[in-house]
Amino acid sequence: MLSNEDVLFHEYFSEWIDLYKVGAVRDVTLAKYRMSLQHLKNIAPNVKVSEMDRRKYQKILNLYALTHEKQTTTDFHHQLKGAIVDAVDERLIQVDPTRKVVIKGRAPSKKKIKFVSQFDLQKLINHLDLTDEINFDWLILLIAKTGLRFSEALALTPSDFNFAYQTISISKTWNYKTKSGGFQGTKNASSKRIVQLDWKTNMQFAQLLDDFPDEKLIFVRGRVFNSTVNNQLKRHCEKCGIPVISIHGLRHTHASLLLFAGVSIASVARRLGHANMSTTQQIYLHIIQELENQDNDKIMRYLSSI
């Protein structure tokens, strides 16, 4: 690791990424670190590690926040902070400049709808063209019924299904973002999991995959683009007269409906393959708060009856 007092902060961050992140995080995560590095070069090309203090660090964040939303600025801050904490430990920086930092950012843009109601989901499923041959509508159905990530669903082969026990084993993902494709590891250790299937979906896929080679990819025929499947899903939503959601929105819909049905946060987190329950709580905070309000009403009604 560079230790010269004249080393620029973006140089230190670049070498820190190479040393601690290359080979330790997924390619998509590494790309985000590289993007943050590019922003840092543009914002603070001449700031040295030895000069970094609270004022300089806050100015870096403020400049970044001018063109980014608050959540994106928070992510940028967390990535820089990882390197800064190590620089403090190495005594390249005397005092942690990230202490009491203020996160700013542009007003958030109008968010797309992340999930639909059970009634709308049923309308969507009824509209799918579930033929005797594998197509992307089957992929849409499977994600809606399991909450799998897009890359997890693409990596499936018939050998991942256990129709006797109505389960799917998730142990890999498919790298759809590159031309060459290929299998990759799961997002985290918790993403390796067994997902239970409902009897109807289990029966449908058992029939669909009856003569399908065990190790052949079910949904991949050449390169698969996320946009292609999202556009197909969009057409279905528009024809059904329901809000347009994305493939990832089907995952949110799946989790939301389970929470509204009274399934515990722990069970939903395990089914989605989240690293911990706090991730689930953060993503679905609005739903959890609504459920808590319903619980409070139940508690008050019960106590009033005593």
Q: Which CATH superfamily is domain 118-292 in?
A: Intergrase catalytic core (1.10.443.10)
CA distance 16 to 83: 6
**pLDDT tens sequence across 223-263:** 999 999 999 999 999 999 999 999 999 999 999 999 988 89
**pLDDT tens sequence across 51-88:** 999 999 999 999 999 999 998 999 999 999 999 999 99
Indicate the pLDDT class of residue 2, thresholds 50, 70 and 90. Answer: very low
> Would you call 45 helix, strand, or coil by DSSP?
coil
- Structure confidence at residue 131 (pLDDT): 92
Whose CA is closest to 146, among 216, 214, 194?
194
Is this structure's pTM higher than 0.75? no
**pLDDT tens sequence across 253-273:** 999 999 988 899 999 999 999
4 pLDDT higher than 60: no
What φ, ψ does residue 51 adopt, rounded to 5°?
A: -90, -10
217 pLDDT higher than 80: yes
Domain layout of the chain by residue ranges: 9-89, 118-292
Q: Chain centroid to CA 54: how far? A: 31
- Structure confidence at residue 199 (pLDDT): 97
Residues in the chain: 306
Q: Which CATH superfamily is domain 9-89 in?
A: Tyrosine recombinase, N-terminal domain (1.10.150.130)
Indicate the pLDDT class of residue 1, thresholds 50, 70 and 90. Answer: very low
- Structure confidence at residue 26 (pLDDT): 82
146 pLDDT higher than 60: yes
Q: What percent of the chain has pLDDT over 70?
A: 97
Q: How many helices (H) and strands (E) does the chain have?
A: 13, 5
Pairing assessment for the beta strands 173-174 and 183-184 based on DSSP bridges: antiparallel
Pair 63, 43: CB distance under 8 Å: yes
